[in-house]
């Protein structure tokens, strides 16, 4: 195995980002030459041209819906060059939390190569700031249910495709501490059993753990919330050297039997550490894993609401935000790992795809059926700018061309250009481009919802309560339409405090269109619905049943017709409801 050279990786990154414009042109040429025979490109009349001007003139901006018929043909077994020159052999599944069902996304060896490059680059910068030795990593990662499409292609979440790749495994062995969990645990068919055994493996090697990671912050938080409930059972397993009866998967039991031996001394040590924490579990992670250097995962966007509780567990252990990408592929790396997740920025790698940026302005569009005007985001004249043409301080929607058949694909993410690293832009993720909550002339994004929830949740402190998770709904079944916010709390709040929270939520949406609409009652009073404990766990279980992986799960921040099953789960678990009086 070739030894990892972090300094060389950083040098290559520096050279690439200094010449980003040329690298981008070369990358586009490479993509179009490799895939020039594809039916999709042939139909657009490129005729072998690969310069950016011809490409932009001939190839339209598209969404996943535009490419879905082509991807479906591939999944159904058509092996002709539809989107790529070489056949697609693997399908990745998105999380499905936005639209209620997973999207099919083409995946190939080229995307695997870019994934490995992103991991290497990110690790090189991370390890320069937080060097780790030959210890172990507690990697809270999980496989999803894999299946064959109608045409016989392997299909699974992108995380499963990556984690199961020999190339990924070889790379990770070379660049970081080995996982403390055997593959049988990571790729086990039952998430709950895998999670329990991840925690058990972590305890067996507790003094060797140097980093804790997962794809998303939610998965890390879920693991330690579970730890609070099962730590005594874990100690019993270690003390007796016998695995809990809750583990029934034969492959997992066999793999764990090779690690588990009676160890009363370790059991006593873990028990003592936990007893010192069991009142509020503050600082749990460094207490149990005294040599951990950092906690790593995607912590931006929809993961930010989990940071407060994660810091509660982490104590002084730094939280490091992982890189920026999507199910469709990676885009940028975090080269400033010391920045807290809320301030994290990401530098675009100019050779892993061809990137354009659609400038965002607000335009008003008329809804003829309901005779109302709605603000939406659109690109200025639908003319994206190139990687090196973006302006600092401006916001854009990402447009991606990759090696796996996505051409001028609107990713749906809004990013803000914070600066340049050499000549490649440094991005901050802002939100999804579609408005989350919109009834009349109001416009509220996922970030606006997050800030409103955070502000209202301050009123829970006097009763020592916290918001476990939340989502929203635009209720239009009766006029006027209104916002519904669903909260799951970690305890039972008083009527007075929850009413106050409801009013605060209503007042915290500062968008002028919302405030005006509330004052004239074209938007009705905001409704706060309190959910039973465990409701969002049921939402998670629903997505797992669809073939998703915990590693890829994101709580949907708004539910609607496409997420009717989730809406039913939420509606069936409402225990209290409050209406705002803030604008009366």
What are residue 279's phi and psi, to 5 degrees? -75, -45
- Residue 138: per-residue pLDDT: 93
| 422 φ/ψ sector (left φ>0, alpha ψ -120 to 50, else beta) | left
**pLDDT (average), residues 490-515:** 89
Q: What gap in Å lies between CA 309 and CA 469, rounded to an integer?
A: 11
pLDDT over threshold 60, residue 365:
no
Q: What is the pLDDT of residues 72-129, one digit of tens each?
A: 988 888 888 988 888 888 887 775 555 556 788 888 888 888 888 898 999 999 999 9
Number of helices (H), then strands (E), belonging to the chain: the values are: 20, 22
- Of the two residues 391 and 444, the one the predictor is more confident about is 391
pLDDT over threshold 60, residue 251:
yes
Q: What gap in Å lies between CA 112 and CA 237, rounded to an integer?
A: 38
Q: What is the pLDDT of residues 147-156, one digit of tens each?
A: 778 877 777 7
**pLDDT (average), residues 429-458:** 82
pLDDT over threshold 70, residue 570:
yes
Least confident of 10-14, 48-52, 117-121, 362-366: 362-366
pLDDT over threshold 50, residue 381:
no
Q: What is the pLDDT of residues 201-237, one digit of tens each?
A: 999 999 999 999 998 888 899 899 999 999 999 999 9
HSE value, Cβ hemisphere, 13 Å, CA-based, for 354: 26
Least confident of 8-22, 193-207, 211-225, 507-521: 507-521
Q: What is the pLDDT of residues 402-415, one digit of tens each?
A: 998 899 999 888 89
Q: What is the pLDDT of residues 306-341, one digit of tens each?
A: 898 999 999 999 999 998 888 888 899 999 999 999
Strand partners, 379: 360
CA dihedral in degrees (470, 310, 349, 446; nearest 10)? 20
Residue with tokens 């982490």: 314
**pLDDT (average), residues 410-433:** 90
- Residue 463: per-residue pLDDT: 86
Q: What gap in Å lies between CA 468 and CA 305, rounded to an integer?
A: 9
Mean pLDDT of the chain: 86
Q: What is the pLDDT of residues 36-79, one digit of tens each?
A: 888 898 898 887 788 888 889 899 999 989 999 999 988 888 88
Q: What gap in Å lies between CA 544 and CA 93, rounded to an integer?
A: 12
| The overall pTM is greater than 0.95 | no
**pLDDT (average), residues 162-183:** 73
């Amino acid at each position: 195995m070739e030894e990892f050279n972090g300094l060389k990786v950083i040098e290559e990154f520096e050279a690439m980002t200094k010449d980003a414009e040329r690298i981008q042109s070369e990358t586009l040429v490479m993509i179009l030459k490799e895939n020039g025979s594809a039916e999709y490109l042939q139909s657009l009349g490129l005729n072998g041209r690969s310069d950016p001007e011809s490409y932009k003139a001939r190839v339209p901006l598209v969404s996943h819906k535009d490419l879905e018929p082509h991807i479906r043909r591939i999944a159904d077994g058509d092996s002709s060059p539809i989107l790529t020159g070489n056949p697609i052999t693997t399908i990745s599944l998105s999380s499905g939390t936005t639209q209620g069902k997973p999207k099919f996304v083409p995946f190939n060896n080229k995307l695997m190569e870019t994934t490995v490059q992103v991991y290497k680059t990110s690790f090189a910068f991370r390890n320069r700031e937080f060097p780790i030795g030959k210890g172990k990593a507690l990697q809270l990662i999980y496989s999803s249910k894999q299946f064959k499409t109608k045409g016989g292609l392997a299909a699974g979440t992108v995380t499963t495709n990556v984690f199961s790749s020999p190339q990924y495994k070889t790379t990770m062995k070379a660049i970081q501490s080995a996982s403390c969990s055997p593959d049988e645990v990571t790729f086990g068919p039952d998430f709950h059993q895998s999670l329990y055994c991840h925690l058990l493996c972590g305890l067996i090697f507790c003094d060797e753990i140097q980093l804790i990671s997962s794809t998303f912050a939610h998965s890390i938080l879920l693991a330690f919330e579970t730890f609070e409930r099962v730590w005594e059972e874990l100690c019993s397993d270690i003390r007796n050297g016998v695995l809990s009866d809750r583990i029934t998967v034969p492959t997992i039991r066999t793999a764990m039997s090779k690690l588990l031996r009676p160890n009363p001394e370790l059991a006593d040590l873990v028990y003592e550490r936990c007893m010192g924490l069991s009142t509020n579990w503050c600082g749990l992670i460094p207490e149990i894993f005294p040599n951990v250097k950092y906690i790593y995962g995607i912590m931006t966007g929809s993961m930010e609401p989990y940071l407060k509780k994660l810091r509660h567990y982490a104590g002084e252990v730094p939280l490091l935000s992982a890189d920026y990408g999507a199910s469709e592929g990676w885009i940028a790396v975090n080269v400033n790992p010391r920045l807290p997740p809320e301030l994290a920025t990401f530098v675009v790698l100019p050779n892993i795809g061809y990137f354009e940026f659609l400038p965002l302005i607000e335009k008003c569009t008329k809804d003829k059926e309901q005779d109302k005007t709605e603000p939406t985001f659109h690109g200025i004249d639908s003319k994206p700018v190139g990687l090196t043409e973006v302006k600092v301080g401006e916001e854009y929607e990402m447009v991606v061309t990759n090696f796996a058949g996505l051409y001028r694909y609107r990713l749906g993410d809004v990013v803000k250009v914070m600066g340049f690293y050499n000549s490649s832009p440094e991005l901050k993720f802002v939100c999804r481009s579609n408005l989350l909550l919109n009834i009349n002339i109001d416009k509220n994004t996922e970030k606006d919802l997050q800030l409103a929830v955070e502000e209202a949740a301050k009123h829970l402190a006097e009763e020592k309560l916290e918001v476990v998770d939340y989502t929203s709904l635009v209720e239009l079944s009766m006029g006027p339409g209104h916002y519904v916010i669903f909260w799951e709390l970690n305890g039972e709040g008083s009527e007075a405090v929850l009413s106050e929270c409801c009013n605060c939520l209503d007042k915290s949406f500062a968008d002028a269109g919302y405030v005006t609409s509330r004052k004239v009652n074209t938007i009705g009073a905001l409704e706060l619905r309190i959910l039973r404990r465990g409701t969002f766990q049921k939402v998670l279980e629903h997505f797992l049943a669809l073939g998703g992986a915990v590693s890829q799960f994101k709580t949907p921040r708004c539910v609607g017709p496409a997420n009717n099953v989730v809406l039913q789960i939420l509606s069936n678990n409402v225990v209290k409801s409050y209406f705002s009086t803030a604008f009366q």
